[in-house]
Chain A
Amino acid sequence: MMRRGLWVAAWALIILVLIMPLAVVLAEALKNGFGPALETLKDPDGIAALWLTVEVTTIAVIANTLFGIAAAWLLTKYRFPGRTSLLVLVELPLSISPVVSGLVWLLLFGAQGWWGPALEEAGIHIAFAIPGIILATVFVTLPYVVRTLVPLMEQQGRDTEEAAALAGAGFWQILWRVTLPGARIALVSGILLTTARAMGEFGAVSVVSGHIPGLTETMPLHIESLYNGYQTVAAFTMAALLACMALATVLLRYAPAFLWRSREVPK
C-alpha cells in the first residue's frame, strides 16, 4: 500500500516537474493548429537561424572531438608534472557562467578588447560575427568529450596499448585500432552531449553575437527575440523544433549501448 503511494508520488513529481514543460512547448506551438505553426517555420530569419546553428554545432563538435581524444590520451596514458592542473583547467568551463564564457571573448576580440581593434582594421570580424559565436560555443562545450573519455580510458589502463607498441604499431595505429574501438561507447556519448549543448547554448552566444536577425542569430537567440516580440506561436514552434533536436541527440546516447549489447548477447 505504502509502496503504491510512493510510486504515485514519484510519477506525479516526474509529470509535474519534467513532463509538464515539454507539454507546454507543444501546446503553445500548436495553439492555433498545425497549419499556422508550420507556416512560422517558413520565415527566412528562422531558416537562417537553423542553418547557423547547424554550422556552428558541426564546427564545435569536430574541434572538440579532436581535442577531446588528444587530451584524454595525454591525461590517461602518461604521468607527468602538471597533469592534475591540466585536468582541472579542462573542466573549468563547466563551472563558469555562460554569460562569462561569452564575455571573455569580447575582452579579447571586442571593440574595446585587446586585439579587437587591430583585427577589425585588418578586416577580420570576430565579435558580433560568426567566428565569435564559434569561439564561445567551443569554449562552453570543451569539457564534455574529455570528461566522458577520461574515466573509461583510465580504467582500461595502458597494457593493451603497450603490447601494441611493442609489436611495432605506431601512434595512429594504436589510437585508431586499439584505444578508440575500446572506448567507442564513451566517445559517442561525449560527442552527443557536446552536440546537444552546442546547439542549445544561449548565454555565451547571446553576449558575443550582437543579435542581427538572419545573420548572427542562432536558434536559441531567435527564439528569444520572437518571444520578446510577442510572436508566441512562432517562438514555441522554433522551441519545439530545437527541443526535439536536443532531446533526440541526448536519447541517442542510449542507442549504441543497446545495439551493441543486443548484438553481443547471442554469442
Chain B
Amino acid sequence: MASIKTKIGRRAFIKNTSLASGGLVLGFSFLNSCKPKQVAEMAVQEMPKEWFEINGYLKIGDNGLVTILSPNPEIGQNVRTSMPMIVADELEIDWKDVLVEQAPLNTDLYSWQVAGGSRSISSSWQSLRMAGATARQMLKEAAAKAWQVPVGEISAVAGKLTHEVSGNSAGYGDMASAASQIAVPEEVDLKERSEFSIIGTSRKNVDGRKIVTGQPLFGLDVQREGMLIATLAHPPAFGMQLKSFDADSAKQMPGIKDVFSLKIYDDDFKRSAFHHTAFNEVIVVLGESTWQVMQAKKALKVEWENAPEVSVGMSMFGNEMKVNFPAGLENSTNHRLKMEELNARKGKVVRKDGNPEAAFKNASKVIERSYSAPFLAHNTMEPMNFFANVTDDHAELLGPTQTPEWMEPAIAERLGLPIEKVDIMMTRQGGGFGRRLYGHFMVEVAAISQKVKAPVKLVYSREDDMSQGIYRPSYYATYRAALDADNNLTALHVKTGGIPESPLFANRFPAGALDNYLAEDWTIESNITTGAFRAPRSNFIAGAEQSFLDEVAEAAGKDPIELRLELLKRAQENPVGERNDYDAARYAGVLELVKEKSNWESGNQGMNRGVSAYFCHDSYVAQVLDIAMEKDKPVVQKVTTAIDCGIVINPDAATNLAEGGVVDGIGHAMYSAITFKDGAPEQKNFDKYRLIRHSEAPKSIETHFVQNDIDPTGLGEPPFPPIMGALANALYKATGQRHYHQPFITEKQVLG
C-alpha cells in the first residue's frame, strides 16, 4: 500500500434536502444489477434513521448505507457514477450500498469542479481516493477503540469491520457514529491497483433509471413555486447591437409579466473568456410559461444597429489581455478568402528544427495539401438555461454549467453580493461539449431574478442557442512534406491559423520525429464569439495532420501505420528538440493495438480502411475506420478504437464515451457547419444545421483500452479528433477522392 498525506477537511456538508432521515424507503439496487434478468427486481431497503458525516465526500447511515457526493458537473461523461466509484473502492464498501448525490459548488472542499479539459477524473483521482481511504481508516480506528484492540489488526472488507483474533465484527453503520468523532488521520494507506474491487469494473449509470422513466433531472426540468420564465432577444447578427424596441403589444399578450432591456456587464467589468458574451444588451421577456414568452418575443418590435469596434479586457488563468472585436457584418465567403490569403503569407514561426528550407529545396518530391473546417455550434440537446432566485442578501442558482467555480465571482459582482452569499448547484446536463464552460446565461438569469424579485428560469430557444455564438472557430491549414529519392520523409512544414485562434500544437507529433520541421501560425480577428468545443483546436488539426500523413505514406509507398511507427521510433530513440509534449512509446502502443485488433495485417477484408492516431488531453487514441460501398454509396461499417488513458474506472461507460466520440467526429466532419451572411448565422435550427443521425452512424464500434497502471488521463475528448482523419482516409480508399474541406458533404455527397 502507498501511504499518502491526507488533505481532507472536516467541513460539514451543505445540508441536502433530498435525503431526509428516517423511515423513507427507496429502491436502489436496481441500477447496480449486472445481469439483465435482475433489472426488474427492485430491492427496497429502508433509509437510515441517521446519517453521519465522515468527510466532505461521504456520509454513512446507521444501517450501513453510504451516500457519496459527486463533486463535478455531469455532462454525459458519466462522472456522477465514476467519481463515486473511486471513493467507494477505497472506502471498501459494496457498490450496491452506495447512494450518489450531486455535490454543490464548494471551493473550500473540492478542487476543479469543472467539466473541462477531460480532467474530472485525473484532477480528482487522488482526492477521491483519499476521501474513501480516510473514512475507511476512521471506521477502523472507531472499531479498534470499541474493541480495545490494535487498529492494525482490523480488516475492512465490503462494509464490514472484522477483528479476527477476538472474533469481533461490525458493519460500517454500527461504527459510523463513533467514526465521525475520530480525528482525521494525517496519513492513510491507499490501495494498490491489484486490490481495486470497483475501479476497473463496469457499473451502470446511477441516473439510468431516472433517465429512462423521465424523472426531473435537467436544468430545464427545474420547477419552483412562483417561478417565472424568461427568454431573451439578442441581435440577429454579430456586429449588431440594440438600438430601441417597442414592447407594447408583447406586454399585452397572455401570461406576460414584463419586458425590459438588460445590460449583462458594466463596461469596466473585468471578465474572463468564460464570462464573455457577444451581446451585452438584450431584451428580456418575462412571463408565466415558456410558450407564452416565446410567442411574446415574436411580437417585439426591435430596431438593431451596427455596433462599433470594442476592445475588452479579459483575464485568462491569471493572464491579462485585451481582446479586440472589430466592427462590421462578416461573411463566410470573405472568411475563406481571408484565411487563404493569410496562409499564403509568412506566419509567426512557433517552432523550427534543423533546416527545413534546404530540405525542401533538395527534395525529390514535395507534397502540399490544404485543409479547412467551418464554425460549428455545440448544439447540446438541452439548450442553454438556468434557474436563479435572488433575494436582498442571497442568490441561489441551479442548472447546467460546466464551470460553476469560474462563474461564481462574476455573478457575485454583477449582483453586488459577497461571494459567500452566492450558492450554485448543478443539475444533470443535457450535453456540454464545451458550450457550458461559458456561463453568461447564469449572470443573465441572476440579474433578471434580482431585478424582478422573483425566482426565474431563463430558457434559450434552439434558435437563440444556435445564433448566440461561442462557436467552434473556423480553421485553415497547409501541410508540406519533403521526400528524398529513397522516399524518406526529410521535412515537414505546417502553416495554420483560424478565426479567431490558431489550432497549432507545434510540439506535438510529428515534431520530434523529423530533423527538419517548421510550424507557423496566424490568426484573424472577428466579432463572432468562439469557445472551446470538444478537444479544442485538436478537433481540426488532428484530422488535417492525419489525412496528410496518409498521403505522405501513399507517396512514399509505405503502409500508413508503418510510416507512423517509424516516425515514432525515431521520436522515442533519438528525439529532435526538447519540447516534445507526447510519449512516443505510448503513441506507438495504441497504433500497435489498433493494428492487432483491426486485423490490419490480414488485408482489407473487402473494406476500404483508413487509419488515424492522435494525442491530446494526456491520452493516446488510434482508430481504424472501415467503409463498404453499398449501391455506390460509402457506408461506415466498423470503427476499431485503441485508447491509452491509463487506468479505466468504469470500462463499459468509458467505451460508451469513446463510441460517442467516434459518432460525433464522423458527424461533424461529414455534415455540420455554421455559415454567416452579413453577420447572421444561416443555420438556426436542425432543419438547416445537419447533425449525424442513426442511419449514418457506424454499424459497429469496437473499443480497446491499453492495460497499464498509469494514473487516469483524459477520455471525454481524445477519441473525437482523430476519427476525422480515419474517415477521410477511408473515404479516399472507397471513392478515390481525397477530402480536404469540412463538412465533407459539401465537397461531394458521398455517405449514404
Q: Do A and B interact with each other, yes or no? A: no
